[in-house]
Structure 1
Amino acid sequence: MSIAQIGEAINNFDTIIIHRHVRPDPDAYGSQGGLAELIRHNYPHKKVYVTGKSEESLRFLLEMDELEDDHYRGALVIVCDTANQARIDDQRYSEGSLLIKIDHHPDVDGYGDINWVDTTSSSTCEMIFQLFKQNKKLELNNKAARLLYAGIVGDTGRFLFPSTTKATLKAAAELVTYDFNRPDLYDNMYSTPLKVAKLKGYVLQNFTVNPEGYSTIRLSKEVLEEYDVTSTETSALVGLLGDIEGILAWAFFVEEEDTIRVRLRSKGPVINGIAANHNGGGHPMASGASAETWEETEVIANELREVCVKYSEEALN
């Protein structure tokens, strides 16, 4: 794959539809919307759409379009930030004339006629910025810069995660030269509602720490109802246990209507294999999965223990 192929495809199609993954985060919204704004700015005659279920907490970034099936006829479809086809939001993605995948997760599902995967990139937003930089004919506008910056900030944990590289910081340094309100962006991304802050207290009082260096916390439907917090809103708390001394890896088990959502994080042990075992996937240090029962979460906890033990043993050798 070459970036030039993607640029050529964008140039050749008059209708372009951009997808991303279900349960979106700022990188999903940012790469989807940032790419859309980049194309719109440089090709004002083209019809460019973004699709997927709207996420209320991210509506400050952009709004989704409502599409009919006919929109896909003869269209270029680009899927951003989505490792596997099952997690693509709006499953009409295959109904266009050409399909492109742009992603930074491990390439477990090489779908698409054109497939650009860069696991060394901090975020898909950083990849979209790279696409812009390597095509000298493209100009970046303020709207696109804001969206790409938001995605980079989100997926690097405000530049704290090991995925942050020299290239990441150079991209961010250039993006902040554009005219958008960074304090307002940070407020929208990181302000904590009172109810979520109270749930944070519950997490800190109820998480478990095991001698092997792994930790888990259960958030049942009853707990979520008590604090009036949705499953999606709990994502703001997933990094909380990473600050606790002695914890190498941890899991949030969040009960939803028909499944238990599993959020896995690590400061060393590789945990995306665990996610793959339980209908999920992701990065070596940040992954997601799902469990059908609380008994399955115990299996996941045991697998978490095993990778922590292995990591500690290897560190001693």
Structure 2
Amino acid sequence: MKRQIIDKIKQYDTIILHRHVRPDPDAYGSQIGLAELIRANYPEKEVYTVGEHDPSLSFLAIPQHIEDTQFNNALIIVTDTANTERIDDDRYQKGDFIIKIDHHPNDDAYGDLLWVDTNASSCSEMVYELYEEGREYANWQMSDAAARLLFAGIVGDTGRFLFPSASPKTFETAGQLIQYNFDRNQVFDGMYEMDRKLLNLQGYIYQHFEMDENGAASIKLPTSVLQQYDATPSETSLLVGSLGNVKNIRAWVMFIEDNDTIRVRIRSKGPVINGLAKKYNGGGHPLASGATAYTWEEADQVIDDLKAICKEYK
């Protein structure tokens, strides 16, 4: 499979990389990290990364804006995106050939060529694996820019290597990547440093979250609260792991009002929660998923369902 992907990359003069909406470090890491890897090994090719930019990820990279005509006869590579509804920039359909590279459950087997590995800690780890194959098969070289982005993606999706998804292979990959020339402190600062307003909002979360006797916890952040702390919905992504420090917690959900929808971020220390996310217009990993609610009443239903999951968990 990996060699088929490499052959397709060799074949096309124009390559456009996509990732999921509401990006996280692994979305940028895998998408733009792979783009940098291709540029380093095929400098004659036109390589673009598209999608709406999240300013909180500017420390990593900034995607490009391109014209529709550039999709003509282009190879499309979509990373870290489980289903077509979550692909950022639907012009991916205008390309000539679509490759899916992902580590989420393959519920939507889109694309002409698919490589899905649910055992991978992150899609960035998969891109490094693709590089290893390319090194043997096509004499690929890793660049400092690609290594930095892939490292950031792995760190982001493993919670700084604290999540169970961080395998011995993950640590080995990270060990290889840190041998390249990039500033790890700059990466960590960009990912985890917070403005004082977000620290204050984190205090609000600790003061107002609710948890039942089975370790199911929840916190609601309506627009009024976000405005009180001068925080945007996207900035709250830095806070979603905060409740993981609470003793006896099993799983938690954070609701963030965002215009006419409510972002639902679900995390777990054991109970499988991606089925719950699918029920509410989302999906993801067994212990880290996202969904969308459209009313606060629906949010309350999510809480009830999470409580039932935690109650049944042994």
Q: Report the TM-score when normalising by structure 1.
A: 0.97
What is the aligned partner in structure 1 of residue 223 from structure 2?
221
Counterpart-to-counterpart distance in 1, 2:42 and 2:65: 21
Match of 1:263 among 265, 276, 282: 265
Give 1:87's aligned residue: 86
Q: Which residue of 1 aligns with 2:116?
A: 117
- What is the Cα deviation at residue 131 of structure 1? 0.2
Specify the code of the residue in structure 2 equivalent to 1:49.
Y
Question: Offset of 1:184 from its aligned partner?
Answer: 1.3
Aligned residue in 2 for 1:179: 181
Tell me how far apart the structure 1 counterparts of residues 156 and 129 of structure 2 sit (CA, whole Å): 18
Whole-angstrom CA distance in 2 between matches of 1:134 and 1:206: 49
1:70-94 alpha-carbon deviations (Å, 9 max, x no partner): 0010000000000010000000111
Query: Residues of 1 paired with 2:112 and 2:84: CA distance?
Result: 13
Question: What residue number does 1:65 align with?
Answer: 64
Give the equivalent residue in structure 2 for 1:22. 21
- Number of residue-to-residue matches in the alignment: 311
Q: Which amino acid aligns with 1:89?
A: D
SS across alignment from 2:98:
strand
- Rounded Cα–Cα distance in structure 1 between residues aligned with 2:209 and 2:60: 33
Residue in 1 aligned with 2:104? 105
The Cα of 1:34 is off from its aligned counterpart by: 0.6
- For residues 203-258 of structure 1, what are the alpha-carbon distances to aligned partners after superposition, in whole Å with 9 as ceiling and x for unaligned? 00000010121000010100000000001111111111111112100000111101
Deviation for aligned residue 1:127 = 0.2
Q: Within 5 Å, which residues of 2 pair with 1:232-247? A: 232-247=234-249
Equivalent position amino acid for 1:260 in 2: I
What RMSD, in angstroms, separates the aligned Cα atoms of the two structures? 0.6
Structure 2 gaps of 5+ residues are none
SS at match of 1:131: helix
2-structure distance, mates of 1:224, 1:121: 34
1:153-172 → structure 2 map (5 Å cutoff): 153-172=155-174
- After superposition, the C-alpha distances for 1:132-179 in whole angstroms (9 at most, x for unaligned) are 001221100100000000000110011000000011011000000000
Partner SS, residue 21 of structure 1: coil
* Corresponding letter in the other structure for 1:282: G
Which residue identity is paired with 1:77?
I
Aligned to 1:297: 299
- Give the Cα–Cα distance (whole angstroms) in 1 for the partners of residues 189 and 269 of structure 2: 26
Shift of 1:64: 1.1
> Which amino acid letter does the alignment assign opposite residue 235 of structure 2?
E
Residue of structure 1 in register with 2:34 after alignment: 35
Q: Which residue of 1 aligns with 2:206?
A: 204
| C-alpha deviation, 1:200, in angstroms | 0.5
Distance of 1:187 and 1:294 partners within structure 2 = 34
Task: Tell me, yes or no, if structure 1 residue 310 matches structure 2 residue 312.
Answer: yes
SS of residue paired to 1:254: strand
Instruction: State the Cα deviation string for residues 74-116 of structure 1 (Å, max 9, x = none).
Output: 0000000000100000001111110000000111110000011
**In structure 2, what is the Cα distance between the partners aligned to 1:220 and 1:47?**
43
* 1:62 CA drift (Å): 1.1
SS in 2 for 1:274: helix
**Partner residue of 1:54?**
53
AA aligned to 1:146 is R
- Code of the aligned partner of 1:154: G
1:148 to 141, 147, 150: 150
1:188 is aligned to 190
> What is the distance in 2 between the residues matched to 1:298 and 1:34?
39
**CA–CA distance in structure 2, aligned partners of residues 12 and 138 of structure 1:** 15
CA shift, 1:309, in A, is: 1.1
User: Secondary structure, in 3 states, of the residue corresponding to 1:289?
Assistant: strand
2:310 & 2:191 partners in 1: Cα distance?
31
CA distance in 2, matches of 1:233, 1:146: 22
The alignment partner of 1:30 has SS state of helix
Structure 1: which 5+ residue stretches go unaligned?
Answer: none
Instruction: Give the aligned residue type for 2:127.
Output: I
TM-score of the aligned structures, taking structure 2 as reference length: 0.98
> Which amino acid letter does the alignment assign opposite residue 11 of structure 1?
K
> Structure 2 counterpart of 1:147, which letter?
L
Q: SS state of the match for residue 264, structure 1? A: strand
Rounded to whole Å, the distance in 1 between the matches of 2:158 and 2:190 is 17
* SS in structure 2 at match of 1:229: coil
Q: Does 1:279 align with 2:278?
A: no
Quick one: which amino acid aligns to residue 47 of structure 1? Answer: E
Percent identity reads 53
Counterpart of 2:131 in structure 1: which amino acid? F
